[in-house]
Amino acid sequence: MSSGGIRSPDLRGAMLGAVPGLVGVGVFSAVINLLALTGSVYMLQIYDRVLPSQSVPTLVGFTVGMLGLYAVYGLLDFVRLRLLVRIGNRLHKNLQQRVFGLSLSLPLIGGQDANRIQPLRDLDQIRGFLSGLGPTVIFDAPWIPFYLLIIYLLHPALGLLATSGAIIVVLLTVIAEVLGRASAARASETMVSQRNLADSGRRNAEVVRAMGLSGRLARRWSEINHAYLTHQERLSDIVGATGALSRALRMALQSSVLGLGAYLVIGGEASPGVIIASSILLGRSLAPVDAALANWRGFAAFRQSYSQLAKVLAVVGGHEEVMELPRPQAALAVEDLTIAPPGQQKPTVANVSFSLSGGAGMAIVGPSGSGKTTLVRALVGVWQPLRGRVRLDEASLDQWNSEELGAHVGYLPQDVELFDGTVADNISRFGGKDDAKGVLAAARAAGIDKMIMRLPNGFQTRVGEGGAALSAGQRQLVGLARALYGDPFLVVLDEPNSNLDVDGDAALAGAILGVRRRGGIVIIVAHRPSALTNIDKVLVMSNGMLHSFGSREEVLANVIRPFPTPAERQASVVPMQKGVSGHA
């Protein structure tokens, strides 16, 4: 895939930072290629000077010199490879945080298509290529004409034969590139689809097992794998055919050079040493072509990864420095907010406006598909609006650095995802182990400090990937504590009681009241009436638009059936949206 002329300042800057090291590699390559003449010169001297003179001291002198030069050759080649490894690692270090952040934000920008883009894999591919033998081909290839010129100086006929053969071998390499480019790109795309399907199956292992989907997913995976193997076979056939033809041609060419050299010696037009020297020089001149064919898949993968990464970095853009803003503490304002899912232009929420002051608690209610979750994703800056603004103390969210904004926002999504680490790590948002007081305060605010103490290792209990070691209710409460960590000004909870029992509902109500008492703003998406405890405002969504907004008593009286008593609330299992849908 070509980048289409798209340039990425980040990637270009990282590559420019590698230029001094690459210049060093070029210098080492020049000396190495000059030292590669050692074998030819040595054999020329053996046949033209040592054998006619029968001088052992001369033989010993040339041999010692040859061994010394080859020792230097080996040392410089080793240093060149070490330098390439460090160039690749340095480029990786310069881009790793930027690319990792990009990989985290891609699903929020590109939607479902983002699953096919893997910038971390592309960066690893670039680093692997730069750290291997691939770049040496680029530095050695310009020396092919130099070796052919030396052969020409030995005798013009040998030079013409070697040049003709080298041109044919290089053309074969170019043909392999042209023919194999499409297959290499398709093989890479199907490999990504294959991995995505396997990862999705692992994430949903319970559903796959319970609903008997393993056979169907296996068949789907086999279809993708068949396409991948087909493209790989085509690429291997192309590279293998050109490689085999190139090898056969090189061997025939070297034998032809030997034969022509012998003919010239018989005719008295060249010395015996020319025969061996020209053969060695020809082999050395075609060595970069051998290396190119051997590393062909690496070349193809590097080209595609570089193009894809440059394109993604250019489209997403770099992080602009923004001025640090004071901690919000007064109000939240939403102005004509229109939102569409990432990668789409058709809005699912349109023209929503409301404002809340510090200490307010608001519930967002409405039927399924009315836009509640879409709205809260925009409120916390997860999805970017098509139009309108979300403001904290008059500053729109795009004026904040994402790291700084995150310290002032607490968010509990519908699907609570915990990271592999301890309970304390997850609550502290992996902020380190130096804030035990903050972790304990967040746990107490969520009402789960005693529950955590009963875990096998308390706050140091590892939760496993996705929080697998905890129950659904425990994961939700730990996610609530994470949202409350650091006393954020804005706390947004999407169906926070979907997995909670009566005690969990009480803890949630206490957490909401605690945020409001310290002057923060709480917004919850509610389907169960119990979530409206300690809430003073209600916003009703219907068909992606704001249906009603006002005090809880006013909205409940005009839109929703009367709010139940505590006894009715505990017995209630009827989703609230049934009462709203009639007013859509």
Helix-then-strand count for the chain, H and E: 24, 10
Strand duo 387-392 + 395-396: pairing: antiparallel
Q: What is the mean pLDDT of residues 481-495?
A: 92
Share of the chain above pLDDT 70, in %: 89
End-to-end CA separation in angstroms for the chain: 47
The fold of the 11-316 domain, in CATH, is ABC transporter transmembrane region fold (1.20.1560)
Bridging pattern class, strands 537-542 and 545-551: antiparallel
Question: For the sheet containing 545-551, what is the strand order?
Answer: 409-412, 490-494, 521-525, 361-365, 537-542, 545-551
Per-residue pLDDT band for 116 (boundaries 50, 70, 90) equals low
Tell which wins on pLDDT, 577 or 508: 508
Contact 474, 323 (CB under 8 A): no
Rounded Cα–Cα distance for residues 478 and 446 (Å): 8
Asked if pLDDT for residue 121 goes beyond 70, the answer is yes
pLDDT digits (tens, 9 = 90+) for 132-171: 888 888 898 888 888 889 888 888 998 898 888 888 888 8
Q: How, if at all, do strands 521-525 and 361-365 pair?
A: parallel
Distance in angstroms (rounded) separating the CA atoms of residues 128 and 401: 33
**Strands 331-339 and 387-392: what pairing?**
antiparallel
CB-based burial label for 5 (10 Å; 0-12, 13-18, 19+): exposed
* CA dist., res. 525 & res. 497, Å (int): 10
**Mean pLDDT confidence for 390-396:** 90
| pLDDT the model gives residue 366 | 87
* C-alpha to C-alpha distance for 69 and 81, rounded to whole angstroms: 18
- Which of 499, 492, 555 is closest to 520 using CA atoms? 492
Asked if residue 288 has pLDDT above 90, the reply is no
Structure tokens at 107: 């699903």
Specify the residue for token string 């070697």.
162
Compute the average pLDDT of residues 448-463.
Answer: 89
Q: Name the 3-class secondary structure at 389.
A: strand
CATH topology of domain 331-560: Rossmann fold (3.40.50)
Reported as a pLDDT band with limits 50, 70 and 90, residue 114 is low
> Residue 249: is it exposed, middle or buried by C-beta count within 10 angstroms (0-12/13-18/19+)?
middle
Tell me what pLDDT residue 242 has.
79
C-alpha 37/C-alpha 25 separation (Å) is 19
Residue 198: strand, helix, or coil: helix
Nearest Cα to Cα of residue 388 among 340, 322, 321, 320 = 340
Q: At what angle do helices 296-316 and 156-203 cross, to 10 degrees?
A: 60
Position with higher pLDDT, 489 vs 120: 489
DSSP character for 46? I
Answer whether 11-316 and 331-560 agree in fold: no
Structural contact between residues 341 and 385, judged by C-beta atoms closer than 8 angstroms: no
* Distance of alpha carbon 236 from alpha carbon 190, whole angstroms: 16
* Residues contacting residue 268 through CB under 8 Å, at least 6 positions apart: none
Q: How far is CA 416 from the centre of its chain?
A: 23
Q: Residue 102 above 90 pLDDT?
A: no
**Which H/E stretch holds residue 279?**
helix 272-285
Going from the C-alpha of 575 to that of each of 414, 501, 556, the distances in angstroms are 16, 16, 14
Range from 15-24, 235-244, 334-343 carrying the lowest mean pLDDT: 235-244
Buried residues in 85-108 as b, exposed as e (16+ CB within 10 A):
eebbebbbebbeebbeebbeebbb
pLDDT band per the 50, 70, 90 thresholds, residue 203: low
Instruction: Extract the tokens encoding 244.
Output: 């085999």
Residue 581 has pLDDT above 60, yes or no: no
> What's the CA gap between 445 and 61, in Å, rounded?
85
- Cα-to-chain-centroid distance, residue 408: 27
Please tell me the least confidently modeled range out of 301-305, 317-321, 476-480: 317-321
* Res 503 pLDDT > 90: no
Name the H helices within 435-486.
436-445, 449-453, 472-484
Q: Average of pLDDT values for 170-180?
A: 79
Lowest mean pLDDT among 168-172, 226-230, 458-462: 168-172
How would residue 65 be classed by pLDDT, with cut points 50, 70 and 90?
very high
What span, in angstroms and rounded, lies between the C-alpha atoms of 272 and 493?
88
Identify the pLDDT of residue 579. Answer: 37
Identify the top-confidence range among 84-98, 319-333, 529-543. 84-98
The domain ranges of the chain are 11-316, 331-560
